[in-house]
Every structure is written in structure tokens, then in C-alpha cells.
Amino acid sequence: MRRCREMLKPLLIFGLLLAALVVARAEEPDDTRILNQILQARSEILRSVAPTNSHASPVFLAFWDFDGTILKGDSSEGLQADGKQVYPGLAQLAIECGLSALYPRAGGFERFWNDYTNMDARIGHWLAYPFIPQMLRGAKADDVLQLSRRHFANTLSNYLMASSLHLIHALQRGGIEVHVVSASADLFVKGAAASLGLPADHIHGIEVRVRDGRLTEELVYPVTWNLGKWDKIQAIVAQMEREAPGRKVFILAGFGDSYNTDGPFLKFIAQQSLPAGKPIAVFYDSQQEPGEYRGLFYQARHSRIISEIGSH
């Protein structure tokens, strides 16, 4: 309960935080090349695809993974370093704030963690990842979202990757619409909207059905993990095309850090044939590429988090 009371403190002011991102200190060595390739592709497509009217101008998209790619650590699981907790994940906070019908406040997180990690190791991500929003069944959706917003405002915003936010804001200024597709719970990652400067409906995670304002354990498909991320991206593009018939939608870039979770959607983006220019799939990890992805991704680096950049 003490942790819940602490999270009710006033939210942090984001102005100074966001202002820090525009300075050169937020950049990493790869950022300029990545940004230039994306903006060049946009310019070349605009020259080659002339809209028939002002309302049919193309839409340009970039899709980002979240945990590990934008956030250092994991929004659901938290972050550990040298055997110590750097910050708690939202799964722990939700249980300790009484939002899980399965796990009690006292001692409940330890039981959850044992169940979750065993499920992940013995059965797989496809069952473990959806279990996180499912174990919150019965909770009010608004309560979960407000918890997430507070945790991002008070803690997690300090652990956002400075380079990623620099690129996200530069893409937005360059006419690229940014979406996040995450394997974390939808109501967890949507809490990052203010910290990222993105509309909440541009942030997508694993969803469960909401009835009468409360979460159920019924999954909403596609489940945004592995191939499900690519399915979700296709659904987003299809919806845009339905809402504006005749308006072309182009995916110019994808960003991720896991071959297992992000590989399929990054591979598709990398292998697209655009009417002009080249798409880019950025991978933030130095691990050896599996054969199916060899040579497809731009291997990038980023190391500094927002709290290491400063506000000047």
C-alpha cells in the first residue's frame, strides 16, 4: 500500500525532459545515417507518387518495438542489475496495488513470478506474455492505465533510451507517423504515451477484452508477439487505407532488438519494394544474426538513457 500511495504523488513535468532530447547529446553514432535514409526515402516517394488531390497525400510510417528498444529494461518485468532491482515492473506494481484477482498484495508477486517464469521456460513466450494482462482480469481498465501512467511519469521515463526518443521526435518532425508494437500488456505500454510524445492510439500491446470497464482474460487478436506483431502492423495499414480510400500508405522503417520477438516484422519491412528509396530495419543488438535474417538489418547501437543526458 505504501508503494501505491507513493505513486499518487504529482506527476513529473515533461517539458524539460523532452527539451533535452533535441540537443545533439542525445544522438548516437548511427542516428544520422538512419534518419537520413528514412527521410530520403520519403522525399523520393513523394517525387515519384503524385497525389491526385491534397487529401490523398501518402502516409509514411515507422514501427518500433518497446522494451529494450525504447525502454532500457522491461515495462512488465522491471530491470535488474548486478542482482539488484533497478526498478520494479508494472506486473509487480499491479499486484501490490491489488489489481490482480489471482495474486494477493502480500507475497503475490513472488507467486506470480514463479508461475510466469516457469510458463515462459517450459511452454513459451506465446503463453507467458499474454498471461500478464490475463492475470489482471477483473481489474478496472482505467485503474491499470492510471497506474502505468504514474509509473512512467515518476520512474520509467528516466530509463527511456535517449537515442530512440531523439529519432522518434525527428521522424515526427520529418512527416513520419510513429507507432509502437509491443509484446507487453497494452495498458502497460499505453502509459508511456506522454513520455514518448505519441498519441495513445499509436501504442499497441497485448490486449484482453474489456467488458463493463473491467479486464477479462479473453485475448484480442492478433497477439503482438513474433508473427502477431506483423499481423498487427498489417491491420493498422489496412485500417488507414479503409478510412482514406485512394491514400497510399508506406512503411519506411522498423526498429527492434529481439530476433525472436521482432524478427518477422523487421524482415518484412526490410524486404519491401517501395516505389522509390529503400526501407530500413534497425536492430539494436550485437548478437550473431540467424541465417534467415543475415544481411537484412542495420545493426545499430544505443547506450545512454534519458537520466544520463541531463536537461541542458
At 40-78, the pLDDT tens digits run 999 999 999 865 555 578 999 999 999 999 999 999 999
> What's the DSSP call for residue 49?
S
The model's pTM is 0.90
Arithmetic mean of pLDDT, 226-254 = 95
* Residue-wise pLDDT tens digits, 155-167: 999 999 999 999 9
Lowest-confidence region among 82-86, 158-162, 284-288: 284-288
Percent residues over pLDDT 90 in the chain: 81
**Could you give the domains of the chain?**
2-47+55-309 (3.40.50.1000)
pLDDT exceeds 80 at position 20: no
The confidence score (pLDDT) of residue 49 equals 81
pLDDT exceeds 50 at position 277: yes
Nine cell digits for residue 148: 502505468
pLDDT bucket at 308, cuts 50 / 70 / 90? confident
The confidence score (pLDDT) of residue 22 equals 40
pLDDT exceeds 70 at position 151: yes
Q: What is the DSSP annotation of 81-141? A: ETTEEEEE-HHHHHHHTT--SSS-TTTHHHHHHHHHHHHHHHT-HHHHHHHHHHTTTTSBH
CA dihedral of 183, 266, 73, 215, whole degrees rounded to 10? -10
Give me the sign of the Cα torsion angle 154, 25, 61, 264: negative
